[in-house]
Amino acid sequence: MRIILLLAAATVAACANQPLPIMQTASNPLLQPSPLPYEYPPFDRIKPEHYMPAFEAGMAESLAEIDAITAQDAPPTFENTIVAMEQGGETLGRVQSIFFNLVGTHGTDDLQAIYGEISPKLAAHQDKVFLNKALFDRVDALYQQRDTLDLDDESRRLLERYHVNFVRAGARLAADEQTRLREINTELSRLTTQFQQNLLKHTNELAVVVEDRAQLAGLSDSAIEAAAGTARDRGIEGYVLTLQLPTLQPQLAELEDRALRERIHRASIQRGNTDGALDNRPVLREIVALRAERAQLLGYDTHADYVLANATAGTADAVNTLLAKLAKPSVVNARKEGERLQQAVDAAGESFDLKVWDWPYYREIVRKADYDFDQSALKPYFEMERVLTDGVFFMAEKLYGLRFERRDHLPKYHPDITVYEVFEDNGAALGIFVFDPFARDTKRGGAWMNSYVQQSRLLGTRPVVANHLNVTKPAEGEPVLLSPYEVNTMFHEFGHAVHGLLSDVHYPYFSGTAVPRDFVEYPSQVHEMWAFWPEVMENYARHHETGEPLPQEMIERYKSTEQFNQGYDSTEYLAASLLDQAWHQLTPDAIPEDVEAFEAAALEQAGVALELVPPRYRSTYFAHVFSGGYSAGYYSYVWSEVLDADTVAWFKEDGGLSRKNGDRMRYGILAPGGSVDAQAMYEAFRGRPAEIAPLLERRGLTAE
C-alpha cells in the first residue's frame, strides 16, 4: 500500500490478496492492470460509470490489506509492514491517478459529479488508514528500532517518512480528537472540490462576448478566428474571449480597445467573487477555518506552521523573511515601471491615468520604444510542434540522451493529445510522455505535469507522465504560434516531466516529483534556461512559413529585455505568496468575515498593496492554495528559484548544454526523487549551499 496523502494527488492502499470477482473485473477496465505498454491507461475503454465501482472496490481492498498486515502473528518487520504497504495500492492507486488527472484535464460534467461524490469518501478512507492504531503501532515499533534494523539508506528514509506521515495525520491523537479530525478532513475534501468546481463554472460563465470584430483590433487574425470558433462551439453570435487562471489576461497586451480591456479585467477579478451558488468567499473562509483548527489539533499554531514543518523551509519565519526581503525592492521597481508606462500613455496623447488593464498594453509599447523590440514579432518563429520536437526534445537528447517516438496507436482521452514513447540513447525503453497543449472548457487553468504510472524498481513499473498547457487553439488549418511566455512554460513543464521520466528509485513512495513542495519546482525552473539557450534556439526558432532562423539581432534584443517588467512580475507573484501566508498563518479565532477587506489589509501590511499591480491570484480564484496542493506553499516557486538561479550559474560556468552536465543533473537531482533529503541532495550536487545572489541579479534586485 503506497500511502500518500490523497488530495495532494497520490495513492492509497489496495489489497493484492483479495481478487475481484471475474465478471466484475472483466467488465471494468479500471479493476485490472492495463494490458497496454507501460500500463498506459486504456482511455478508449474507460467510461464514467466505471469509476465509482472501481473506487469502492479499491477502498474495500485497501482496508482488507490493512487488516492482513495488522492481523499477522509475526512481530512487525520492515518487509511485512512497510514493504507490504508499498506493494499494495494497485487498484485504488490506478483509479485515483486516472480519475483525478482527467478531472483536471478533461473534466466533463459526468466526471465533475463523481468528483463531488467521491472526494469526501476518499478522505474518510484515508483517515481509516492513518488513524488505524494497530497499523501505527507496527510502524512506530519499527521506527523506534530503526537503528538496529540494518536498513539501506532508502529503506531507512522510507520508514522515517511513513512514521512522519502517520503522526502528522493524527495517529497519536486521543479517540475524541481523531473523531473531530475525521470530520474536518471529510469537510475539507468537500469544500476544496466545491472551490474548484465553482471556479471552473464561473470562469466559463464570465468569458467575454464581443459582437463587433472591430473591437478586437490588435489581436492576430488567428486569435480572432479562434474566438469566433469558441463562440460557435457555445452557440453564441460573435466572438468569445475565454479567461485564463492568472489575474492579468494575455489579450490585454494586444487589444487596442481600452473599454474591452477593462471588461476583460473586471471579469477576471470577479471569478468566485459573486453572490449565489458560485460564490467562493464563504467556501474559502471555511477552508481556512478548518485548516487552522486541524493544525492546532495536531499541535501546531497555524496551518502554515503545519505545512512548513514538513518542507525544506522548515518554519513560517524563514518563509516570511525571504518574501519580505524580496518584496521591498520589487515594489520599488514596479513603481518605477508604472511611472514609465504613464509616460507612454501621455506621449500617446491620452488623458487618462494608467490602470491595471492598461499595464500589459503599454508595457509592450514601452518595450518596443525602449528596447526596439516587439515581443509579438517572435511568435512566427515559435510554431508549437517545432518548439516541442526541435526544442524541448532536442534539449532532452543533448542533456540526457533521450529519444522520442510518436505512438499514435495508443488511445487518447481527447483528440488534441499526442503520445510519445521515450528511449534512452542505448535504445532501452524508458517510459511514455503525453503532450496536451490546448485550452478547453473542461480543462482547469494553468499548466502542470502529472503521472499516470510512477517508476519503481520494487513494483517493476516504468513512468507514464503528461504535460498540460492552456494554449489557445487556432482555427482549423492555422499554425499554433506561441508567445515567449508559452515557450518558457513548455520547457518548465517538461522539467517536471523529466523529473518523472528519469526517476530511478526502489520504492514508489519516492518516485519522480515526490519531493518537498518547495523543492519540486526547482528542476522545472532550471529547465526554463534552455528555452532561449543559443544552441537550442538555433534548432527550433524558425519562421513557420519560410523556415528562416530567428535573426540574431532579434534574439539579442529579446535578451536585453530579460529584466524588463521584473518589478511587476516579482510583485504580483510575491503578493500572491504573501496572501497565501496571510490566510494560512491565521488561528481559528481570527478568521475574517470580509474576504476583500482581509485581502486588502494583508497586502497593505506586507507592503505590496499597489493599485496597478494586483496579486497574480486573488483569493476567490487562488486555486493553487484553496483547491490544489500549494496551501501555505505558493512561496515554493521563489524558494526553488534560489536553487534554480544558483544552478543556472553553475551550468553557465561549466559548459552549458552537455551530456556531462546533464548526467550530473540527472543522477544528482532527478533520479533520486524523494529518496534523499532535498537540502542534502542540493548541497551534494552543487558542492555547497545555494547562494541568493544569482536570483537577485536575475530579477534586477541587486541595488536594494
CATH of the domain at 479: 1.10.1370.40
Q: Taking 80 as the threshold, does the pLDDT of residue 14 lie above it?
A: no
From residue 364, give the alpha-carbon distance in Å to each of 324, 369, 702: 29, 9, 25
Task: Provide the CB-side half-sphere exposure for 375 (13 A, CA).
Answer: 24
Same domain membership, residue 495 and residue 432: yes
Same domain membership, residue 507 and residue 554: yes
Predicted local distance difference test score (pLDDT) of residue 676:
97
Query: 505, 529, 559 — which closes off a domain?
Result: 559
* Mean pLDDT of the 142-156 span: 97
> Which set of grid coordinates corresponds to residue 370?
525602449
Same domain membership, residue 109 and residue 249: no
Those residues with Cβ within 8 angstroms of residue 258's Cβ, 6 or more apart along the chain or in another chain: 352, 357, 358
Would you place residue 467 in the very low, low, confident or very high pLDDT band (cuts 50, 70, 90)? very high
Query: 504, 530, 559 — which closes off a domain?
Result: 559
Predicted local distance difference test score (pLDDT) of residue 13:
27
Same domain membership, residue 154 and residue 21: yes
Same domain membership, residue 122 and residue 219: no
Furthest-apart CA atoms within the chain: distance in Å = 86
Beta bridge partners of 403: 423
Same domain membership, residue 151 and residue 261: no
Same domain membership, residue 463 and residue 385: yes
Tens of pLDDT along 411-423?
999 999 999 999 9
Same domain membership, residue 143 and residue 29: yes
Predicted local distance difference test score (pLDDT) of residue 12:
26
Kindly state the DSSP code that residue 271 receives in the 8-state scheme.
T
* Mean pLDDT of the 561-577 span: 95
* Mean pLDDT of the 32-57 span: 97
CA–CA dist 366, 345 (Å, integer): 10
Domain for residue 568, yes or no? Answer: no
Same domain membership, residue 211 and residue 167: no
Q: Taking 60 as the threshold, does the pLDDT of residue 5 lie above it?
A: no
Domain for residue 589, yes or no? Answer: no
Q: Taking 80 as the threshold, does the pLDDT of residue 468 lie above it?
A: yes
Helix, strand, coil percentages, rounded to 5, for the chain = 60, 5, 35
Would you place residue 476 in the very low, low, confident or very high pLDDT band (cuts 50, 70, 90)? confident
The answer to whether 611 is a known catalytic residue is no
Tens of pLDDT along 385-406?
999 999 999 999 999 999 999 9
Alpha helices in 585-677 (DSSP H): 595-606, 623-626, 636-653, 659-665
Predicted local distance difference test score (pLDDT) of residue 374:
87
Domain for residue 225, yes or no? Answer: yes
Q: What's the domain count of the chain?
A: 3
Predicted local distance difference test score (pLDDT) of residue 445:
87
Same domain membership, residue 135 and residue 34: yes
Sign of the dihedral defined by the CA atoms of residues 36, 37, 39, 42, in that order: negative
337, 364, 493, 528: which is the annotated catalytic residue? 493
Predicted local distance difference test score (pLDDT) of residue 24:
57
Residue 266 region, left (φ>0) first, then alpha (ψ -120 to 50), else beta? alpha
Query: 172, 196, 222 — which closes off a domain?
Result: 172
Would you place residue 344 in the very low, low, confident or very high pLDDT band (cuts 50, 70, 90)? very high
Predicted local distance difference test score (pLDDT) of residue 89:
83
Predicted local distance difference test score (pLDDT) of residue 297:
98
Domain for residue 368, yes or no? Answer: no
Domain for residue 620, yes or no? Answer: no
Kindly state the DSSP code that residue 459 receives in the 8-state scheme.
T
307, 585 contact by CB (below 8 A): no
Predicted local distance difference test score (pLDDT) of residue 18:
41
Q: Taking 80 as the threshold, does the pLDDT of residue 9 lie above it?
A: no
Least confident interval from 4-13, 55-64, 294-303, 346-355: 4-13
Predicted local distance difference test score (pLDDT) of residue 21:
45
Predicted local distance difference test score (pLDDT) of residue 26:
65
471, 433 contact by CB (below 8 A): no
529, 488 contact by CB (below 8 A): no
Same domain membership, residue 147 and residue 73: yes
Domain for residue 179, yes or no? Answer: no
524, 496 contact by CB (below 8 A): yes
> Which set of grid coordinates corresponds to residue 263?
471588461
User: In whole angstroms, what separates CA 388 from the centre of its chain?
Assistant: 20
Q: Taking 50 as the threshold, does the pLDDT of residue 611 lie above it?
A: yes
Residue 401 region, left (φ>0) first, then alpha (ψ -120 to 50), else beta? left
Tens of pLDDT along 654-668?
999 999 999 999 999
Tens of pLDDT along 499-511?
999 999 999 999 9
The CA-to-CA distance between both ends of the chain, in Å, stands at 51
> Which set of grid coordinates corresponds to residue 216?
478586437
User: Please, what's the b/e burial string for 596-629 (b: 16 or more CB within 10 A of its CB; e: otherwise)?
Assistant: eebbeebbeebbbbbebbbbbbbbbbbbbbbbbb
Q: Taking 90 as the threshold, does the pLDDT of residue 621 lie above it?
A: yes
pTM surpassing 0.75? yes
User: Please, what's the b/e burial string for 113-145 (b: 16 or more CB within 10 A of its CB; e: otherwise)?
Assistant: ebbeebbbebbebbbebbbbeebbebbbebbee
Domain for residue 284, yes or no? Answer: no
Tens of pLDDT along 636-686?
999 999 999 999 999 999 999 999 999 999 999 999 999 999 999 999 999
464-471 and 429-438 beta bridge pairing: parallel
Question: What value does the mean pLDDT of the chain take?
Answer: 94
Predicted local distance difference test score (pLDDT) of residue 537:
96
* Mean pLDDT of the 571-594 span: 97
| Residue numbers of the domain that contains 151 | 6-172
Same domain membership, residue 391 and residue 486: yes
Domain for residue 554, yes or no? Answer: yes
